[in-house]
Amino acid sequence: MTTPKSFPEELLKTLAQYHQAHLVHWWEELDERQQDELTSQIQLIDFAQIQRLYSPTHPQKTEESPAQKAERATHPATVIRLQDRAQSAPETAQAVQAGNQLLAEGKVGAILVAGGQGSRLGFEHPKGMYPVGPVKQTSLFQILVEQLIARSRNAGKPICYFIMTSDATHAETVTYFNEHQNFGLQAEQLYFFKQGTMPAVDEQTGEILLEEKHRIAVSPDGHGGMLAALKKSGLFEVMQAKGIEYLYYHQVDNPTAIVCDPEFLGYHLQRAAEVSVKVVSKRSPDEKMGIVCDVDQKTQIIEYSDLPDHIAELTDKDGNLLHWAGSTAIHIFNRAFLEQIANDDGLLPFHQAYKKVPFIDSTGDQVSPDEPNAIKFERFIFDVLPVAETVLVYEIDRLREFNPLKNADGPDSPQTVNAALCRIHGQWLTACGVEIAEGTPVEISPLIALDESELKTRISPDDQFTAPIYLGE
């Protein structure tokens, strides 16, 4: 290859040193704009880090694999199960009060991660824009924002929403919010911040892949990229200045998550946890959920793909699954704890995922592989758990709170989410004395009611509704 004239000499040396000089192979064919784009992408890459992460022949043998660790997994130390809460009504009432007080004091913020590519759903826009509302086709974003607005109203204090986007979702998400006046959320309460990217490398060679001759194949760096992104965007300082000490964290794909749930906040406080995680009881040993367990006295999440079958199938003396606690990826984090981890970049490891990534081959042709050909590197936010002194593992009713949208059809699809919303809202109406036929489409905006007891204050059993039922402002 001839030395490209205007490609920075120092950078070329770096590329050569890390066996990545192929990235500028097409340099002379590129126009100036494309050359600039490629140069700035290359400047952002930490080549030493990529080399460290890609280690096909030397998979850090000294380190124990997650599957080996799983052999020592035990029950988590600090757990509150559904029946515990039901049996200790006074404690639960105190927790609700304590959570509401935190909200009223303005000590709580909410983080929504919405930077994923949503590849399984196959929707052509950011997943948060997906119309899940059974009657008004309300989007995931709108349902979640309206919950936050309603919770702020009840608390009498604005709650800030920190929404993480990525290159894949940022521009469209921000435009969508602008076009809808943020769904009623005050601009001062809304912060977008963008996560970073990581290049994809060829599984066989470790070479970084070109998606086009002037563009590197990159993807969002995982929800764990949130820590670096919060730090870089200065949002920890913003949180501090606003007196935010607790962060309710959730994912964009679950419209039935209870945003800033006061009871969860209260129990987090009462148990003096640094991190809390909402879990559901796994339906079967092979259900594809990360499990929450203790290994060497550290509470952590083991991904389902790392959990050997014989461990997943273990039962206790009553025949119940030993590792029943499936993570819903709903958390509370102490802000100071997250900040401490964000300041130590080495604490969150990168995970490798084998994926199909289209690329430009050595002859300049674009290849769309049928089989996984590349490694993507991602960080997971749940890797902060073992760093915490105390992690509260808090069981919830999955029918009420965990109905994620992941797939185009089958489980966790638009059909199941739609049915869940109709079921939950139908149950609220029934509890209010309203008779509705089974299968009636029902949608209740969070601005009308966040739960059954709030709905009771808004409607009377004599109210007449015609199907489909929509209750909104």
Which residues are at the interface with ligand UTP (CB under 6 A)?
Answer: 113-121, 127, 164, 166, 195, 220-223, 225, 251-253, 406
Report the residue number, 98 or 121, with the smaller CB distance to ligand UTP. Answer: 121
Min. distance of Cβ 121 from ligand UTP in angstroms?
6
Q: Could you tell me how far CA 290 lies from the centroid of its own chain?
A: 13
Q: Name the pairing type of β-strands 298-302 and 291-295.
A: antiparallel
Report the residue number, 151 or 170, with the smaller CB distance to ligand UTP. Answer: 170
Min. distance of Cβ 216 from ligand UTP in angstroms?
17
Contact between 250 and 112 under an 8 Å Cβ cutoff? The reply is yes
* CA–CA dist 82, 92 (Å, integer): 11
Residues 6+ away with beta carbon under 8 Å from 281: 321, 324, 325, 326, 395, 398
Please work out, in degrees rounded to the nearest 5, the angle formed at the alpha carbon of residue 79 by the alpha carbons of 77 and 84.
Answer: 140
Report the residue number, 144 or 312, with the smaller CB distance to ligand UTP. Answer: 144
Min. distance of Cβ 120 from ligand UTP in angstroms?
3
Contact between 376 and 352 under an 8 Å Cβ cutoff? The reply is yes
Min. distance of Cβ 175 from ligand UTP in angstroms?
17
Q: Measured on CA atoms in the order 114, 117, 121, 126, is the torsion positive or negative? A: positive
Report the residue number, 115 or 441, with the smaller CB distance to ligand UTP. Answer: 115
In the chain, % helix, strand, coil (3-state, to 5) comes to 40, 20, 40
Report the residue number, 116 or 262, with the smaller CB distance to ligand UTP. Answer: 116
Min. distance of Cβ 83 from ligand UTP in angstroms?
29
Helices 89-104 + 262-270 axis angle, to 10:
100
Report the residue number, 73 or 129, with the smaller CB distance to ligand UTP. Answer: 129
Min. distance of Cβ 317 from ligand UTP in angstroms?
35
Min. distance of Cβ 301 from ligand UTP in angstroms?
13
> Phi-psi bin for 250: left (phi > 0), alpha (psi -120 to 50), beta?
beta
Report the residue number, 108 or 121, with the smaller CB distance to ligand UTP. Answer: 121
Min. distance of Cβ 258 from ligand UTP in angstroms?
16
* CA–CA dist 231, 425 (Å, integer): 39
Residue nearest to ligand UTP (CB): 116
* CA–CA dist 113, 251 (Å, integer): 5
Q: Could you tell me how far CA 367 lies from the centroid of its own chain?
A: 31
* CA–CA dist 116, 174 (Å, integer): 15
Min. distance of Cβ 412 from ligand UTP in angstroms?
9
Q: Residue 91's CB: how many other CB atoms inside 10 A?
A: 15
Min. distance of Cβ 70 from ligand UTP in angstroms?
20
Q: Name the pairing type of β-strands 190-194 and 161-165.
A: parallel
Report the residue number, 112 or 429, with the smaller CB distance to ligand UTP. Answer: 112
Distance in Å from the first CA to the final CA of the chain: 65
In what helix (H) or strand (E) does residue 248 lie, and over which residues does it extend? Answer: strand 246-251
Report the residue number, 107 or 398, with the smaller CB distance to ligand UTP. Answer: 398
Report the residue number, 152 or 328, with the smaller CB distance to ligand UTP. Answer: 328
C-alpha distances out from residue 455 to 137, 247, 263, 397, 408, Å: 21, 27, 18, 20, 32
Let me know if 89 is exposed, middle or buried by CB neighbors in 10 A (0-12, 13-18, 19+): exposed
Report the residue number, 85 or 406, with the smaller CB distance to ligand UTP. Answer: 406
Min. distance of Cβ 119 from ligand UTP in angstroms?
4
Min. distance of Cβ 213 from ligand UTP in angstroms?
26
Contact between 279 and 155 under an 8 Å Cβ cutoff? The reply is no
Report the residue number, 183 or 267, with the smaller CB distance to ligand UTP. Answer: 183
